[in-house]
Structure 1
Amino acid sequence: MESTQPAEDLILTQLPPASELGDPEDPGEEAADGSDTVVLSLFPCTPEPVNPEPDASVSSPQAGNSLKHSTTLTNRQRGNEVSALPATLDSLSIHQLAAQGELDQLKEHLRKGDNLINKPDERGFTPLIWASAFGEIETVRFLLEWGADPHILAKERESALSLASTGGYTDIVGLLLERDVDINIYDWNGGTPLLYAVRGNHVKCVEALLARGADLTTEADSGYTPMDLAVALGYRKVQQVIENHILKLFQSNLVHADPE
Protein backbone atom coordinates (compact mmCIF):
# COMPACT_ATOMS: atom_id res chain seq x y z
CA MET A 1 0.00 0.00 0.00
CA GLU A 2 1.23 3.45 -0.77
CA SER A 3 2.28 5.85 1.93
CA THR A 4 -0.10 8.49 3.27
CA GLN A 5 -0.29 11.62 1.14
CA PRO A 6 -1.33 15.21 1.94
CA ALA A 7 -5.06 15.60 2.45
CA GLU A 8 -5.40 17.98 -0.46
CA ASP A 9 -4.33 15.23 -2.87
CA LEU A 10 -7.25 13.12 -3.99
CA ILE A 11 -6.72 9.38 -3.80
CA LEU A 12 -8.36 7.21 -6.39
CA THR A 13 -9.58 3.75 -5.51
CA GLN A 14 -9.95 2.51 -9.05
CA LEU A 15 -11.78 -0.71 -8.36
CA PRO A 16 -14.17 -0.41 -6.60
CA PRO A 17 -14.53 2.81 -4.51
CA ALA A 18 -13.11 2.36 -1.01
CA SER A 19 -12.49 -1.35 -1.46
CA GLU A 20 -10.20 -3.82 -3.13
CA LEU A 21 -11.70 -5.60 -6.08
CA GLY A 22 -12.45 -8.98 -4.61
CA ASP A 23 -15.72 -10.84 -4.86
CA PRO A 24 -18.15 -9.07 -7.24
CA GLU A 25 -21.02 -10.05 -4.98
CA ASP A 26 -19.44 -9.02 -1.66
CA PRO A 27 -17.56 -5.71 -2.01
CA GLY A 28 -17.39 -4.99 1.69
CA GLU A 29 -15.83 -8.24 2.82
CA GLU A 30 -12.07 -8.44 3.30
CA ALA A 31 -10.30 -10.64 0.78
CA ALA A 32 -9.98 -14.26 1.84
CA ASP A 33 -6.20 -14.10 1.71
CA GLY A 34 -6.15 -11.31 4.29
CA SER A 35 -4.71 -8.71 1.93
CA ASP A 36 -5.28 -5.03 2.69
CA THR A 37 -7.16 -2.56 0.58
CA VAL A 38 -5.03 -1.33 -2.33
CA VAL A 39 -5.47 2.11 -3.86
CA LEU A 40 -4.22 3.82 -6.96
CA SER A 41 -3.53 7.52 -6.81
CA LEU A 42 -3.35 10.12 -9.52
CA PHE A 43 -0.59 12.19 -7.98
CA PRO A 44 3.19 11.67 -7.72
CA CYS A 45 4.42 9.22 -5.13
CA THR A 46 7.20 6.69 -4.74
CA PRO A 47 7.21 4.66 -7.96
CA GLU A 48 6.11 1.08 -7.68
CA PRO A 49 8.39 -1.68 -9.03
CA VAL A 50 8.23 -1.69 -12.79
CA ASN A 51 6.40 -4.71 -14.12
CA PRO A 52 6.45 -6.03 -17.68
CA GLU A 53 3.51 -5.36 -19.94
CA PRO A 54 0.68 -7.80 -19.21
CA ASP A 55 -0.17 -10.41 -21.78
CA ALA A 56 -3.81 -10.00 -22.81
CA SER A 57 -4.14 -13.78 -22.84
CA VAL A 58 -3.14 -14.06 -19.18
CA SER A 59 -5.90 -13.28 -16.75
CA SER A 60 -3.93 -12.94 -13.52
CA PRO A 61 -3.23 -9.32 -12.54
CA GLN A 62 0.18 -7.83 -11.91
CA ALA A 63 1.78 -7.40 -8.52
CA GLY A 64 1.13 -3.95 -7.12
CA ASN A 65 -2.07 -3.56 -9.11
CA SER A 66 -5.34 -2.95 -7.31
CA LEU A 67 -7.07 -5.40 -9.63
CA LYS A 68 -7.27 -8.83 -8.10
CA HIS A 69 -9.23 -11.91 -9.00
CA SER A 70 -12.04 -13.07 -6.81
CA THR A 71 -10.81 -15.51 -4.19
CA THR A 72 -13.74 -17.85 -4.83
CA LEU A 73 -11.66 -20.23 -6.94
CA THR A 74 -8.64 -20.21 -4.68
CA ASN A 75 -7.24 -23.63 -5.57
CA ARG A 76 -6.87 -22.94 -9.25
CA GLN A 77 -5.63 -19.40 -8.73
CA ARG A 78 -2.93 -20.50 -6.30
CA GLY A 79 -1.59 -23.12 -8.69
CA ASN A 80 -2.85 -26.20 -6.88
CA GLU A 81 -3.79 -29.23 -8.92
CA VAL A 82 -7.33 -29.40 -7.57
CA SER A 83 -9.62 -26.88 -9.23
CA ALA A 84 -13.03 -25.67 -8.13
CA LEU A 85 -15.81 -28.21 -8.09
CA PRO A 86 -18.57 -27.82 -10.69
CA ALA A 87 -21.00 -27.07 -7.87
CA THR A 88 -18.86 -24.11 -6.89
CA LEU A 89 -18.91 -22.78 -10.44
CA ASP A 90 -22.68 -23.20 -10.57
CA SER A 91 -23.02 -21.00 -7.50
CA LEU A 92 -21.21 -18.02 -9.03
CA SER A 93 -23.10 -14.98 -10.26
CA ILE A 94 -22.91 -13.70 -13.82
CA HIS A 95 -20.52 -10.98 -12.63
CA GLN A 96 -18.21 -13.45 -10.91
CA LEU A 97 -18.20 -15.70 -13.96
CA ALA A 98 -17.26 -12.77 -16.19
CA ALA A 99 -14.45 -11.74 -13.84
CA GLN A 100 -13.14 -15.32 -13.76
CA GLY A 101 -13.48 -15.85 -17.52
CA GLU A 102 -15.71 -18.91 -17.09
CA LEU A 103 -17.28 -18.73 -20.55
CA ASP A 104 -19.27 -21.97 -20.54
CA GLN A 105 -21.08 -21.14 -17.33
CA LEU A 106 -21.46 -17.52 -18.39
CA LYS A 107 -23.22 -18.56 -21.59
CA GLU A 108 -25.58 -20.78 -19.61
CA HIS A 109 -26.50 -17.88 -17.35
CA LEU A 110 -27.17 -15.58 -20.28
CA ARG A 111 -29.56 -18.10 -21.80
CA LYS A 112 -31.66 -18.18 -18.63
CA GLY A 113 -33.22 -14.76 -18.99
CA ASP A 114 -33.42 -11.43 -20.76
CA ASN A 115 -31.45 -8.31 -19.88
CA LEU A 116 -28.67 -10.22 -18.10
CA ILE A 117 -26.01 -9.13 -20.57
CA ASN A 118 -25.95 -5.58 -19.16
CA LYS A 119 -27.14 -6.37 -15.63
CA PRO A 120 -25.36 -4.12 -13.10
CA ASP A 121 -24.28 -5.28 -9.67
CA GLU A 122 -24.57 -3.09 -6.57
CA ARG A 123 -21.58 -0.99 -7.71
CA GLY A 124 -23.07 -0.57 -11.16
CA PHE A 125 -20.48 -2.92 -12.68
CA THR A 126 -21.74 -4.98 -15.61
CA PRO A 127 -20.28 -8.35 -16.66
CA LEU A 128 -18.35 -6.50 -19.39
CA ILE A 129 -16.82 -4.11 -16.89
CA TRP A 130 -15.72 -7.00 -14.68
CA ALA A 131 -14.24 -8.94 -17.60
CA SER A 132 -12.40 -5.83 -18.83
CA ALA A 133 -11.01 -5.11 -15.37
CA PHE A 134 -9.51 -8.60 -15.11
CA GLY A 135 -8.13 -8.80 -18.64
CA GLU A 136 -10.46 -11.61 -19.75
CA ILE A 137 -10.22 -10.81 -23.44
CA GLU A 138 -12.18 -13.80 -24.75
CA THR A 139 -14.98 -13.01 -22.32
CA VAL A 140 -14.92 -9.37 -23.39
CA ARG A 141 -15.08 -10.39 -27.06
CA PHE A 142 -17.95 -12.78 -26.37
CA LEU A 143 -19.94 -10.22 -24.35
CA LEU A 144 -19.53 -7.57 -27.02
CA GLU A 145 -20.70 -9.99 -29.71
CA TRP A 146 -23.75 -10.80 -27.57
CA GLY A 147 -24.67 -7.15 -27.32
CA ALA A 148 -23.01 -5.92 -24.15
CA ASP A 149 -23.00 -2.12 -24.02
CA PRO A 150 -19.42 -0.82 -23.62
CA HIS A 151 -20.69 2.72 -22.96
CA ILE A 152 -22.26 1.91 -19.59
CA LEU A 153 -20.72 3.67 -16.61
CA ALA A 154 -20.75 2.34 -13.05
CA LYS A 155 -21.88 4.39 -10.07
CA GLU A 156 -18.57 6.24 -9.74
CA ARG A 157 -18.33 6.64 -13.54
CA GLU A 158 -15.95 3.69 -13.86
CA SER A 159 -15.94 2.34 -17.39
CA ALA A 160 -14.79 -0.83 -19.06
CA LEU A 161 -12.21 1.24 -20.95
CA SER A 162 -10.75 2.95 -17.89
CA LEU A 163 -10.44 -0.33 -16.01
CA ALA A 164 -8.86 -2.13 -18.96
CA SER A 165 -6.40 0.76 -19.21
CA THR A 166 -5.67 0.51 -15.49
CA GLY A 167 -4.63 -3.10 -15.97
CA GLY A 168 -2.72 -2.38 -19.16
CA TYR A 169 -4.86 -4.74 -21.25
CA THR A 170 -4.09 -3.17 -24.62
CA ASP A 171 -6.02 -5.70 -26.72
CA ILE A 172 -9.17 -5.12 -24.70
CA VAL A 173 -8.68 -1.37 -24.98
CA GLY A 174 -8.57 -1.83 -28.75
CA LEU A 175 -11.76 -3.89 -28.78
CA LEU A 176 -13.61 -1.28 -26.76
CA LEU A 177 -12.36 1.62 -28.89
CA GLU A 178 -13.66 -0.18 -31.97
CA ARG A 179 -17.11 0.23 -30.39
CA ASP A 180 -16.70 4.03 -30.34
CA VAL A 181 -16.51 4.42 -26.59
CA ASP A 182 -15.42 7.81 -25.28
CA ILE A 183 -11.64 7.62 -25.14
CA ASN A 184 -11.49 10.56 -22.72
CA ILE A 185 -14.21 9.38 -20.36
CA TYR A 186 -13.53 10.57 -16.82
CA ASP A 187 -14.54 9.13 -13.46
CA TRP A 188 -15.32 10.65 -10.07
CA ASN A 189 -11.66 11.56 -9.53
CA GLY A 190 -11.12 13.13 -12.93
CA GLY A 191 -9.18 10.07 -14.06
CA THR A 192 -9.20 9.13 -17.74
CA PRO A 193 -8.09 5.91 -19.47
CA LEU A 194 -4.83 7.60 -20.50
CA LEU A 195 -4.10 8.81 -16.98
CA TYR A 196 -4.63 5.30 -15.61
CA ALA A 197 -2.47 3.73 -18.29
CA VAL A 198 0.32 6.18 -17.46
CA ARG A 199 -0.11 5.63 -13.73
CA GLY A 200 0.28 1.88 -14.28
CA ASN A 201 3.37 2.36 -16.47
CA HIS A 202 1.65 0.49 -19.31
CA VAL A 203 3.70 1.67 -22.27
CA LYS A 204 1.85 -0.20 -25.02
CA CYS A 205 -1.49 0.87 -23.68
CA VAL A 206 -0.37 4.50 -23.57
CA GLU A 207 0.79 4.19 -27.18
CA ALA A 208 -2.54 2.71 -28.26
CA LEU A 209 -4.60 5.39 -26.53
CA LEU A 210 -2.49 8.23 -27.95
CA ALA A 211 -2.70 6.74 -31.43
CA ARG A 212 -6.49 6.83 -31.14
CA GLY A 213 -6.55 10.46 -30.08
CA ALA A 214 -6.52 10.44 -26.27
CA ASP A 215 -6.30 13.96 -24.84
CA LEU A 216 -2.88 14.74 -23.34
CA THR A 217 -4.06 17.96 -21.72
CA THR A 218 -6.68 16.43 -19.42
CA GLU A 219 -5.83 16.83 -15.74
CA ALA A 220 -6.91 14.62 -12.88
CA ASP A 221 -8.55 16.35 -9.93
CA SER A 222 -5.11 16.30 -8.32
CA GLY A 223 -3.96 18.65 -11.09
CA TYR A 224 -1.59 16.31 -12.92
CA THR A 225 -1.59 15.66 -16.65
CA PRO A 226 -0.38 12.36 -18.13
CA MET A 227 3.06 13.86 -18.71
CA ASP A 228 3.18 15.22 -15.15
CA LEU A 229 2.54 11.75 -13.79
CA ALA A 230 5.08 10.09 -16.05
CA VAL A 231 7.78 12.59 -15.05
CA ALA A 232 6.97 12.51 -11.34
CA LEU A 233 6.97 8.72 -11.25
CA GLY A 234 10.12 8.40 -13.33
CA TYR A 235 8.51 6.31 -16.06
CA ARG A 236 11.02 7.12 -18.78
CA LYS A 237 9.54 4.91 -21.50
CA VAL A 238 6.12 6.43 -21.00
CA GLN A 239 7.67 9.90 -21.09
CA GLN A 240 9.38 9.05 -24.37
CA VAL A 241 6.12 7.78 -25.88
CA ILE A 242 4.35 11.00 -24.90
CA GLU A 243 7.20 13.19 -26.14
CA ASN A 244 7.28 11.37 -29.49
CA HIS A 245 3.54 11.79 -29.83
CA ILE A 246 3.77 15.52 -29.12
CA LEU A 247 6.58 15.84 -31.68
CA LYS A 248 4.47 14.10 -34.32
CA LEU A 249 1.55 16.39 -33.60
CA PHE A 250 3.82 19.43 -33.85
CA GLN A 251 5.32 18.27 -37.15
CA SER A 252 1.87 17.52 -38.54
CA ASN A 253 0.66 20.99 -37.63
CA LEU A 254 3.69 22.54 -39.31
CA VAL A 255 3.00 20.64 -42.53
CA HIS A 256 -0.63 21.75 -42.59
CA ALA A 257 0.28 25.34 -41.76
CA ASP A 258 2.97 25.61 -44.47
CA PRO A 259 1.33 26.90 -47.71
CA GLU A 260 2.62 25.35 -50.91
Structure 2
Amino acid sequence: MESAGDEEVANGQHIRPSGAAECSSVVKPENSSALSIHQLAAQGDVSQVATHLHKDSSLLGKQDERGFTPLMWAAAFGEKAMVDFLLEKGADPKTIARERESALTLASSGGFVDIVETLLKHGVDINTYDWNGGTPLLYAVRGNHIKCVEALLAKGADMTIESDSGYSPMALAVALGHKKIQKVLEDHILKLYKPPT
Protein backbone atom coordinates (compact mmCIF):
# COMPACT_ATOMS: atom_id res chain seq x y z
CA MET A 1 0.00 0.00 0.00
CA GLU A 2 1.24 3.49 -0.77
CA SER A 3 1.93 6.02 1.95
CA ALA A 4 -0.77 8.31 0.53
CA GLY A 5 -3.25 5.52 1.22
CA ASP A 6 -2.01 5.29 4.81
CA GLU A 7 -2.52 9.01 5.21
CA GLU A 8 -6.04 8.74 3.82
CA VAL A 9 -6.84 5.98 6.31
CA ALA A 10 -5.33 7.92 9.20
CA ASN A 11 -7.47 10.87 8.20
CA GLY A 12 -10.52 8.62 8.05
CA GLN A 13 -11.05 8.86 4.32
CA HIS A 14 -12.60 5.89 2.52
CA ILE A 15 -14.01 4.24 5.62
CA ARG A 16 -16.44 6.52 7.35
CA PRO A 17 -20.20 6.10 7.36
CA SER A 18 -21.32 8.94 5.13
CA GLY A 19 -23.60 10.34 7.81
CA ALA A 20 -20.98 10.14 10.57
CA ALA A 21 -19.68 13.70 10.27
CA GLU A 22 -23.18 15.09 10.33
CA CYS A 23 -24.11 12.90 13.33
CA SER A 24 -21.75 14.70 15.70
CA SER A 25 -24.26 17.21 17.04
CA VAL A 26 -27.97 17.77 17.30
CA VAL A 27 -29.41 21.21 17.88
CA LYS A 28 -32.16 21.06 20.47
CA PRO A 29 -34.83 23.75 20.16
CA GLU A 30 -36.63 25.07 23.23
CA ASN A 31 -39.75 23.06 22.39
CA SER A 32 -39.07 19.34 21.85
CA SER A 33 -42.40 18.95 20.07
CA ALA A 34 -40.83 20.83 17.13
CA LEU A 35 -38.25 18.07 16.64
CA SER A 36 -38.64 15.33 14.05
CA ILE A 37 -38.89 11.73 15.15
CA HIS A 38 -35.34 11.26 13.87
CA GLN A 39 -33.99 14.04 16.09
CA LEU A 40 -35.93 12.72 19.07
CA ALA A 41 -34.57 9.22 18.49
CA ALA A 42 -31.01 10.59 18.33
CA GLN A 43 -31.60 12.32 21.67
CA GLY A 44 -33.12 9.23 23.25
CA ASP A 45 -36.43 10.90 24.08
CA VAL A 46 -38.52 7.72 24.33
CA SER A 47 -41.66 9.45 25.63
CA GLN A 48 -41.76 11.95 22.74
CA VAL A 49 -41.06 9.23 20.17
CA ALA A 50 -43.84 7.13 21.71
CA THR A 51 -46.19 10.11 21.37
CA HIS A 52 -45.26 10.56 17.69
CA LEU A 53 -45.71 6.84 17.00
CA HIS A 54 -49.08 6.82 18.76
CA LYS A 55 -50.23 9.56 16.37
CA ASP A 56 -48.66 7.97 13.26
CA SER A 57 -47.22 4.45 13.44
CA SER A 58 -45.76 4.78 9.92
CA LEU A 59 -43.06 7.03 11.39
CA LEU A 60 -41.38 3.93 12.85
CA GLY A 61 -39.72 3.12 9.51
CA LYS A 62 -39.66 6.65 8.06
CA GLN A 63 -36.40 7.42 6.31
CA ASP A 64 -34.99 10.94 6.30
CA GLU A 65 -33.18 12.60 3.39
CA ARG A 66 -30.15 10.32 3.92
CA GLY A 67 -32.31 7.25 4.26
CA PHE A 68 -31.72 7.03 8.01
CA THR A 69 -34.56 5.68 10.15
CA PRO A 70 -35.20 6.62 13.78
CA LEU A 71 -33.50 3.33 14.73
CA MET A 72 -30.40 4.31 12.77
CA TRP A 73 -30.23 7.68 14.51
CA ALA A 74 -30.62 6.05 17.92
CA ALA A 75 -27.86 3.55 17.05
CA ALA A 76 -25.55 6.31 15.79
CA PHE A 77 -25.89 8.23 19.05
CA GLY A 78 -25.67 5.26 21.40
CA GLU A 79 -29.22 5.57 22.67
CA LYS A 80 -29.69 1.97 23.87
CA ALA A 81 -33.07 2.50 25.55
CA MET A 82 -34.36 4.08 22.34
CA VAL A 83 -32.97 1.24 20.22
CA ASP A 84 -34.70 -1.28 22.49
CA PHE A 85 -37.96 0.67 22.37
CA LEU A 86 -37.95 0.99 18.57
CA LEU A 87 -37.12 -2.68 18.07
CA GLU A 88 -39.90 -3.65 20.48
CA LYS A 89 -42.29 -1.52 18.42
CA GLY A 90 -41.25 -3.38 15.27
CA ALA A 91 -38.54 -1.19 13.70
CA ASP A 92 -36.67 -3.05 10.95
CA PRO A 93 -33.00 -3.34 11.97
CA LYS A 94 -32.09 -4.51 8.45
CA THR A 95 -32.99 -1.23 6.73
CA ILE A 96 -30.20 0.17 4.58
CA ALA A 97 -29.78 3.92 4.01
CA ARG A 98 -29.01 5.60 0.69
CA GLU A 99 -25.27 5.04 0.90
CA ARG A 100 -25.77 1.55 2.34
CA GLU A 101 -25.26 2.54 5.97
CA SER A 102 -27.01 0.34 8.50
CA ALA A 103 -27.86 0.65 12.17
CA LEU A 104 -25.10 -1.90 12.83
CA THR A 105 -22.54 0.10 10.86
CA LEU A 106 -23.42 3.27 12.76
CA ALA A 107 -23.35 1.57 16.18
CA SER A 108 -20.02 -0.11 15.34
CA SER A 109 -18.54 3.19 14.21
CA GLY A 110 -19.58 4.82 17.47
CA GLY A 111 -18.30 2.00 19.66
CA PHE A 112 -21.70 1.18 21.16
CA VAL A 113 -21.17 -2.52 21.91
CA ASP A 114 -24.47 -2.93 23.74
CA ILE A 115 -26.33 -1.77 20.64
CA VAL A 116 -24.13 -3.87 18.35
CA GLU A 117 -24.98 -6.97 20.40
CA THR A 118 -28.70 -6.13 20.39
CA LEU A 119 -28.77 -5.64 16.62
CA LEU A 120 -26.88 -8.89 16.04
CA LYS A 121 -29.55 -10.71 18.06
CA HIS A 122 -32.09 -9.33 15.57
CA GLY A 123 -30.44 -11.02 12.59
CA VAL A 124 -28.80 -8.07 10.84
CA ASP A 125 -26.16 -8.72 8.17
CA ILE A 126 -22.89 -8.64 10.09
CA ASN A 127 -20.87 -8.08 6.91
CA THR A 128 -23.00 -5.39 5.28
CA TYR A 129 -20.80 -3.32 2.99
CA ASP A 130 -21.47 0.39 2.45
CA TRP A 131 -20.56 2.69 -0.43
CA ASN A 132 -17.54 4.01 1.43
CA GLY A 133 -15.99 0.56 1.48
CA GLY A 134 -16.65 -0.25 5.10
CA THR A 135 -18.16 -3.08 7.08
CA PRO A 136 -19.18 -2.91 10.73
CA LEU A 137 -15.89 -4.64 11.63
CA LEU A 138 -13.81 -2.15 9.64
CA TYR A 139 -15.59 0.77 11.33
CA ALA A 140 -15.06 -0.75 14.78
CA VAL A 141 -11.36 -1.25 13.98
CA ARG A 142 -11.04 2.29 12.65
CA GLY A 143 -12.61 3.71 15.81
CA ASN A 144 -10.40 1.54 18.04
CA HIS A 145 -13.52 0.07 19.63
CA ILE A 146 -12.14 -3.15 21.10
CA LYS A 147 -15.39 -4.44 22.62
CA CYS A 148 -17.22 -3.94 19.32
CA VAL A 149 -14.47 -5.76 17.42
CA GLU A 150 -14.68 -8.65 19.89
CA ALA A 151 -18.48 -8.81 19.66
CA LEU A 152 -18.44 -8.76 15.86
CA LEU A 153 -15.75 -11.43 15.62
CA ALA A 154 -17.58 -13.63 18.13
CA LYS A 155 -20.64 -13.56 15.87
CA GLY A 156 -18.70 -14.38 12.70
CA ALA A 157 -17.67 -11.08 11.11
CA ASP A 158 -15.56 -11.73 8.02
CA MET A 159 -11.97 -10.59 8.58
CA THR A 160 -11.08 -10.96 4.91
CA ILE A 161 -13.36 -8.23 3.55
CA GLU A 162 -11.30 -5.22 2.49
CA SER A 163 -12.33 -1.60 2.23
CA ASP A 164 -12.36 0.06 -1.18
CA SER A 165 -8.91 1.45 -0.38
CA GLY A 166 -7.59 -2.10 0.08
CA TYR A 167 -7.44 -2.36 3.86
CA SER A 168 -8.42 -5.53 5.66
CA PRO A 169 -9.29 -5.13 9.34
CA MET A 170 -5.75 -6.23 10.31
CA ALA A 171 -4.06 -3.93 7.78
CA LEU A 172 -6.20 -1.04 9.00
CA ALA A 173 -5.35 -1.73 12.65
CA VAL A 174 -1.65 -1.79 11.76
CA ALA A 175 -1.88 1.41 9.67
CA LEU A 176 -3.65 3.24 12.49
CA GLY A 177 -1.40 1.86 15.22
CA HIS A 178 -4.24 0.22 17.14
CA LYS A 179 -2.09 -2.39 18.89
CA LYS A 180 -4.83 -3.77 21.16
CA ILE A 181 -7.10 -4.27 18.16
CA GLN A 182 -4.25 -6.03 16.36
CA LYS A 183 -3.91 -8.40 19.32
CA VAL A 184 -7.66 -9.12 19.34
CA LEU A 185 -7.55 -9.87 15.61
CA GLU A 186 -4.42 -12.05 15.94
CA ASP A 187 -5.96 -14.01 18.82
CA HIS A 188 -9.11 -14.55 16.78
CA ILE A 189 -7.11 -15.84 13.81
CA LEU A 190 -5.19 -18.23 16.06
CA LYS A 191 -8.42 -19.48 17.58
CA LEU A 192 -9.85 -20.13 14.11
CA TYR A 193 -6.85 -22.21 13.10
CA LYS A 194 -6.32 -24.01 16.39
CA PRO A 195 -6.73 -27.75 15.92
CA PRO A 196 -9.55 -29.29 17.93
CA THR A 197 -8.46 -31.07 21.08
Q: Report the TM-score when normalising by structure 2.
A: 0.91
Matching residue of 2:97: 154
Cα deviation for residue 116 of structure 1 reads: 1.1
Equivalent position SS for 2:50: helix
Q: How far off its partner does 1:124 sit?
A: 0.5
Question: Relative contact order, CA 8 A, sep 6+: which one is greater?
Answer: 2
Secondary structure at 1:116's aligned position in 2?
helix
SS at match of 2:193: helix
Aligned with 2:168 (options 210, 213, 225): 225
Larger radius of gyration: 1
Shift of the 170–108 alpha-carbon distance from structure 1 to 2, 3 Å rule, reads: same
Cα–Cα, structure 1 residues 226 and 13, in superposed 2: closer, same or farther, change >3 Å? closer
Task: Tell whether the 8 Å contact from 1:135 to 1:167 is kept in structure 2 after alignment.
Answer: yes
CA contact (8 A) 2:120 2:126 kept: yes
Query: Does 2:17 align with 1:14?
Result: yes
Q: Identity across aligned pairs (percent)?
A: 58
Matches within 5 A, 1:166-245: 166-245=109-188
* CA–CA separation in structure 2 for the residues paired with 1:182 and 1:175: 13
Q: CA deviation at 1:255?
A: 2.1
Whole-angstrom distance in 1 between the partners of 2:169 and 2:141: 6
Residues 127 and 136, structure 2, Cα contact 8 Å, conserved in 1: yes
**Counterpart secondary structure, 1:224:** coil
Structure 2, unaligned stretches of length 5 or more?
A: 1-5
State the match for 1:68 in structure 2.
Answer: 24
Question: Corresponding residue for 1:125?
Answer: 68
Aligned length in residues: 190
Equivalent in the alignment of 1:41: none
Query: Is the CA contact (8 Å cut-off) linking 2:141 and 2:149 kept in structure 1?
Result: yes
Look up the equivalent residue of 2:21 and give its one-letter code: E
Is the alpha carbon distance of 1:11 and 1:129 closer, same or farther for their aligned partners in structure 2, counting shifts above 3 Å? same
Q: Hey, what's the Cα distance between the residues in 2 that align with 1:92 and 1:246?
A: 46
Secondary structure in structure 2 of the residue aligned to 1:174: helix
Please report the RMSD computed on the Cα atoms of aligned residues, expressed in angstroms: 2.0
In terms of fraction of residues, the more helix-rich structure is 2
- What is the CA–CA distance in structure 2 between the aligned matches of 1:202 and 1:242, rounded to whole Å? 12
Paired residue secondary structure (1:115): helix
The answer to whether the 8 Å contact 1:69/1:99 transfers is no
Once the two structures are superposed, what CA deviation does each residue of 1:91-139 show, in whole Å capped at 9, x if it has no partner? 0000000001111111000011131100101110000000000000000
Aligned 8 A contact 2:15 2:163 in 1: no
